[in-house]
Amino acid sequence: MSDQNTLMDRRRFLKGIATVAGTAAVGALIEACAPAATSAPTTAPAANTIAPAATSAPAATAAPTAAPTVLKQTGNVKIGLILGYSSVYAALGESITNAMQLYFDSVGGSAGGRKIDLVKEDEENNPQVALRKLSKLLDQDKVDIFSGVISSAVALALRDPLHEAKIPSLVSNAGANDVTRKAKSPYIFRTSFSNWQVSAPMGPYAADKVSKKIVVVAADYAAGHEDANSFMETFKKAGGTVLGEVYPPFPNTDYSPYLPKIKDLKPEAIFAFFSGSDAVNFIKQFSDFGLAKDIKITCPGFLVEQDVLPAQGKAALGAISVLHWAYGLDNAENKKFIADFKAKYNKDADVFAVQGFDTARVIVEAMNAVQGDLSNKQKFLDAIKAVKFNSPRGAFVFDPATQNPIQTMYFREVREVDGKLQNVVIGKTDQPVADPGA
Amino acid sequence: MSLDFLLIQFLNGLQSALLLFLLAAGLSIIFGMMDVMNLAHGSFYMLGAYIGLSLVRAFGNFWLALLIAPLVVGALGFIVERVLLRPLKGRGHLDQVLLTFGLALVALDFTHATWGANILSLQPPPELAGSLPLGPVQYPLMRLFVIVMGLLLAAVLGLIVSRTRIGAIVRAGVADAQMVGGLGINISLIFSIVFAVGAALAAFGGVIAAPVVGLKLGMDAETLIAALIVVVVGGLGTLRGAFWGSLLIGEADNFGRALLPDYALLSVYVIMAAILLLRPTGLFGKKT
């Protein structure tokens, strides 16, 4: 184990050195195109102060309304968002933000009697940058609630400052198990999933229904390894054999060096973890090189989710995945959500949108429960913990032990429905799945 | 490790090498001749791919897109050189870097705004949709096409540079642009043409790469960095350097990934470091 660790460290170190030139350019490039901090600063008093004369306030847009007479919180509630808005994760950040906006709009843009202000920052897929953005949100914008984070590495980097600042936080994507295990914090909730949740259920399912001879292929970074390990643990327990493991670097555009290897291992199926453009390239090349003909694909749903499926096209047909949501999920909330999202953004909803929608709803319901008064933090955290509702993904409820959702996981297959590719639900876990928390 | 396996890996390396060459060729000649570090070169590649996609969507014809997208981007390159780069002449690298870097950002945001953040893909034309059986796997025809086009363009460019009058002017320009101007040749027009051709080549690369690796925001920076490494390895201002540099980097990268996956990203940088130590001017760079 420790041996592996030193190996990992060395590799990371070398990668770091090697990419200095590259990162300098890319980093600066990405940074410079971060969307200018949104939502003009309003003159509303910061949450916990009583409106001081707004002397230092820049170009007042909204005059400070009705100075509070009692020591009750009024004024806008500020929610700080750090999500991917540029480059590779832009689509995810957009989806989450759009769906949050959709929900906030549906409740008139306010919660617990206070108007909601969103302050958006780009995480740039870089923990260092995200840390800087977080201190801006905390020190300068004085946000009341934090939400966001696409990347697990960023989530883990922000954990300590969030915990120390005691900011109620909702992680709306990053799946690193540790966020709700070793590194859990009473202030941090997760509305999305843990990596264990989106891969462990596939173990018994694949062994039972797909094949007992599988090769594991995963992107070589934390999430890829967590997913691969969670899957292998339950797959082996269910009597499956892992013929080999292949870990292409992350991110990567060309999988052709790895495909002959996978083929050589002669698996009946693979378990593959990739997302975003990696997922598109992997699926297309897997098919281009003729592997898809006799090797089935099982995977966490991100490999073939709505955001990448159109680009993958027919190469994705037949892939069997597991996820906490499916486009074709048959419930009233989902149908309404998909229709509303499409009407507002002229785009199909994806799982990230569902996560954003639910995050917004958790915030609004918890705010309503405390009537907009965030001064008693414990009360607000308890209110978040108690939020329960029917989400597009089915029943949404937090696990009080981990503050990660307990949720039904759906097995889906990519099929053509009315000439359009879609993840069709072909099964689900018997019980809602809770992350083991350790 | 079978022969098939090695052959497939060799072809993969060749294919990514020749895509790189299409960028590195322009980048290297532009730098060698005009002394311009063009950080927007990756953007030409990206714009080529996205414009190609739009053309395919509009006309349903890949070949038409392959013809028109490079022309559009080439024209854009011509304008960029005339209108933006020209006034910076003689103002040092930093100003150029700032300008071309700014252009890269504008191109990225423009692409984001026009085509959206989702990952897109371009289907290969029906003629190239299939694949050839090759040992344990099928080798996609589209990739073979990239290899053929890359070799063809390399040969044509090589002939132009070494055998034609304009090639001689370009070579002379790399050696001493001012002197060429003094001989009564309209060197400023030559600059614009070289810049435009470089942009068009990058765009051509973008269009043929799109069916192989898809389209996404960030494909510009990714490719630009690889192409810059090729230019460093091959030497500035030489087509031959760009060609052999691309082959070396493409194959090393591919075999590195296939044979030593743990050190996948390392092979390229080891080569670059070694070249910088042993031959600071690159494989074919002129001694200074």
ipTM of the complex: 0.84
Indicate the residue type of B208: I
pLDDT, position A89: 80
pLDDT, position A169: 97
Please, what is the angle between helix B219-234 and helix B41-59, to 10°? Answer: 130
Which residue in B has a C-alpha nearest to residue A290's C-alpha? B138
Q: Which residues pair with A244 in a beta bridge?
A: A215
Q: Are B44 and B203 in contact (CB under 8 A)?
A: yes
The reply to whether residue B265 touches residue A249, judged by beta carbons under 8 angstroms, is: yes
CA atoms of A418 and A421, how far apart (whole Å)? 8
Q: Nearest Cα to B80, choosing from B194, B160, B208?
A: B194
Half-sphere CA count of A250, side-chain side, radius 13 A: 21
Q: Does B12 touch chain A (CB under 8 A)?
A: yes
pTM listed for this prediction: 0.82
The reply to whether residue A21 touches residue B225, judged by beta carbons under 8 angstroms, is: yes
> What rounded mean pLDDT belongs to chain A?
86
Question: Tokens 């001989």 appear where?
Answer: B183
A428: pLDDT strictly greater than 90: yes
Q: Does B39 touch chain A (CB under 8 A)?
A: yes
Buried b (16+ CB within 10 A) or exposed e, B199-222: bbbbbbbbbbbbbbbbbbbbbbbb
Indicate the residue type of B171: R
3-class state of residue B79 by DSSP: helix
Q: Which of B4, B119, B266 sits opposite A14 (nearest CB)?
A: B266
| DSSP assigned state of A207 | I
pLDDT band at A65 (very low <50, low <70, confident <90, very high): very low
3-class state of residue A389 by DSSP: strand
pLDDT band at A62 (very low <50, low <70, confident <90, very high): very low
Q: Which of B131, B137, B218 sits opposite A263 (nearest CB)?
A: B137
Query: How far is CA B214 from its chain centroid?
Result: 16
Tokens of B33: 């001749």
pLDDT band at A72 (very low <50, low <70, confident <90, very high): low
Dihedral sign computed on CA atoms, order A362, A364, A368, A370: positive
Which residue in B has a C-alpha nearest to residue A256's C-alpha? B12
For residue B113, the distance in angstroms to the closest alpha carbon of chain A comes to 11
pLDDT, position B287: 59
Q: What is the pLDDT of residues A322-356, one digit of tens each?
A: 999 999 999 999 999 999 999 999 999 999 999 99
Q: Which residues pair with A299 in a beta bridge?
A: A321
The reply to whether residue A7 touches residue B262, judged by beta carbons under 8 angstroms, is: yes
Q: Does B16 touch chain A (CB under 8 A)?
A: yes
Which regions in chain B score pLDDT beneath 70? 1, 136, 287-288
Q: Which of B133, B143, B225 sits opposite A22 (nearest CB)?
A: B225
Q: What is the pLDDT of residues A237-277, one digit of tens each?
A: 999 999 999 999 888 888 988 998 899 899 999 999 998 88
H-run or E-run covering A424: strand A420-428
DSSP 3-state percent helix, strand, coil across chain B (nearest 5): 80, 5, 20
Q: Which residues of A touch B135 (CB under 8 A)?
A: 260
